[in-house]
């Protein structure tokens, strides 16, 4: 029985034991994510000292400056996920193409991940994170990465904030684990997270206001007139984590400059949408549920509106 303080490994094993046909593969897969993110957390905590701040002097497929910590986090995840032998393929925000680990031929899963989310906040000591999304191998090729979000077998994130928290779901609710650095273990701190039906916070980059669709402007103006609180950290993991715990709306909409918005479907919108829905909230592109979108490419962008079901319902009336 899950209780506060239970360690992540025991929690994952107890979840596995509930499935007679479980092979233990997902347990090993999640454990590889856990190990890599613990090491990333240690490096994030001393970034200012470990010479991992600043730019790596290259631009990624997104056309964005790669930070040293992006690169280090990506390498750590590639190494540990490959070593686990559980993944047929890996797709990363930092890699143009998917990679297929040598010892992954029998791997039952593919994983897409954002090794370090919120890169613009690295050098100013503001919360950043790692996001991951796991699907089953179906056809044994790149198509396996392009499955709808509703078919995820697991999704989660690690937020490197005032504490390091791992939040994940395998489709039976959402649970949060806080890293106890003194023992190097993630311990259950937020069992069965449920997002409030309505929240009094909206989270969006208002710097893009002039480029938004007029209906979205009207919705945001209505929230302001109501005195709704505005909170925007600029790291999706941190903004979504706050939305999951406190409720409200997080949005990264399309605008006149970015017709599909900024956030990537495979390793930002889809895993976060899965978690929010598992916690009782809603996640939409403004046109359709995020989890129903059939991906066409690894780095495809989608508009994102997610959060409390009551708030998203009201937003959709405006859109
Ligand atoms: P990443 O650092 O992985 O590229 O992601 C950054 C994303 C996301 O974390 C955040 O919600 C968004 O960029 C913020 O974008 P703006 O700075 O344009 O608001
Ligand atoms: Mn990101
Ligand atoms: Mn990133």
Nearest in space to 213 (alpha carbons), one of 265, 259, 273, 248: 259
Output 13-19 pairs: Cβ under 8 A, ≥24 positions apart: 15/170, 15/172
Question: Looking at residue 51, what is its pLDDT?
Answer: 67
Cβ–ligand 1 contact at 34 (below 6 Å): no
The answer, yes or no, to whether residue 21 has pLDDT greater than 90, is: no
In this predicted structure, the answer to whether residue 52 has a pLDDT above a threshold of 70 is: no
CATH architecture of 201-318: 3-Layer(aba) Sandwich (3.40)
Tokens 């779901």 correspond to 169
Q: Which pTM does this prediction carry?
A: 0.96
Proximal ligand: closest to the CA of 128: 1
Cα(309) to centroid(ligand 3), Å: 27
Distance from C-alpha of 69 to C-alpha of 49, rounded to nearest angstrom: 12
Three-class DSSP category at 132: strand
Ligand 1 mutation target, pool 68, 120, 129, most atoms within 8 A of CB: 120
Q: Residue 291's Cα: distance from chain center in Å? A: 13
Percent of the chain with pLDDT over 70: 98
Q: Residues 200, 287, 201, CA angle at the centre, nearest 5°?
A: 10
| Ligand 1 atom with least separation from CA of 117 | 3
Distance from Cα 118 to the centre of ligand 2, integer Å: 6
Q: What are the structure tokens assigned to 99, written together?
A: 């990679």
Q: Is 256 helix (H, G, I), strand (E, B) or coil?
A: coil
Closest ligand 1 atom, CA of 64?
4
**Relative to the CA of 234, which ligand 1 atom is closest?**
14
Note residues around ion ligand 3 (Cβ under 5 angstroms): 93, 114, 116-117
Q: What is the pLDDT of residues 242-269, one digit of tens each?
A: 999 999 999 999 999 999 999 999 999 9
pLDDT of residue 166: 98
Q: For the chain, what's the residue count?
A: 319
Q: Is the CB of 86 under 6 A from ligand 1?
A: no
**Does 119 contact ligand 1 (Cβ within 6 A)?**
yes
CA of 203 to the centre of ligand 1 (A): 13
Average pLDDT, integer, range 141-158: 97
Q: Is the pLDDT of residue 207 over 70?
A: yes
Q: Which of 159, 210, 197 shows the shortest CA–CA distance to 41? A: 159
**Tell me, what's the pLDDT at 176?**
98
- Would you say the CB of residue 38 lies under 6 angstroms from ligand 1? no
Residue nearest to atom 18 of ligand 1 (CA): 205
What is the whole-number distance in angstroms between the Cα of residue 313 and the centre of ligand 2?
Answer: 26
| CATH number belonging to the domain at 8-190, selected among 3.30.540.10, 3.40.50.300, 3.20.20.140, 3.40.50.2000 | 3.30.540.10
Contact 230, 206 (CB under 8 A): yes
CB distance 70 to ligand 1 below 6 Å? no
Q: Whose CA is nearest to atom 8 of ligand 1?
A: 236
Is the beta carbon of 43 within 6 A of some atom in ligand 1? Answer: no
Task: Give the domain ranges of the chain.
Answer: 8-190, 201-318
Q: pLDDT, tens digit, for every residue of 68-124?
A: 888 999 999 999 999 999 999 999 999 999 999 999 999 999 999 999 999 889 889
């Amino acid at each position: 029985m899950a209780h506060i303080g239970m360690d992540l490994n025991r929690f994952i094993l107890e979840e596995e034991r509930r499935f007679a046909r479980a092979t233990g593969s997902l347990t090993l897969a999640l454990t590889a994510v856990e190990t890599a993110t613990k090491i990333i957390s240690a490096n994030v905590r001393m970034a200012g000292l470990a010479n991992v701040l600043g730019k790596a002097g290259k631009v990624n497929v997104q056309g964005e400056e790669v930070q040293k910590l992006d690169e280090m986090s990506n390498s750590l995840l590639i190494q540990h996920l490959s070593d686990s032998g559980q993944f047929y393929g890996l797709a990363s925000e930092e890699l143009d193409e998917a990679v297929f680990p040598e010892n992954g031929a029998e791997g039952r899963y593919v994983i897409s991940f954002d090794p370090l989310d919120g890169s613009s906040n690295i050098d100013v000591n503001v919360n950043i994170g790692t996001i991951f999304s796991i699907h089953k191998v179906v056809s044994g090729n790149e198509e396996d990465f392009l499955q709808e979000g509703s078919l995820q077998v697991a999704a989660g994130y690690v937020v490197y904030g005032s504490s390091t928290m791992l939040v994940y779901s395998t489709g039976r609710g959402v649970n949060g684990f806080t890293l106890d650095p003194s023992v190097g273990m993630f311990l259950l701190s937020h069992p069965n997270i449920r997002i409030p039906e309505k929240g009094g916070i909206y989270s969006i980059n208002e710097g893009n206001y002039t480029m938004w669709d007029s209906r979205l402007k009207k919705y945001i103006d209505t929230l302001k007139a109501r005195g709704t609180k505005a909170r925007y950290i600029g790291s999706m993991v941190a903004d979504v984590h706050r939305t999951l715990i406190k409720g409200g709306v997080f949005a990264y909409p399309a605008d006149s400059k970015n017709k599909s918005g900024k956030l990537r479907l495979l390793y930002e919108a889809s895993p976060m949408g899965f978690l929010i829905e598992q916690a009782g909230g809603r996640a939409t592109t403004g046109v359709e549920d995020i989890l129903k979108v059939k991906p066409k490419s690894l780095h495809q962008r989608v508009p994102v509106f997610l959060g409390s079901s009551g708030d998203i319902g009201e937003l959709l009336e405006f859109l």
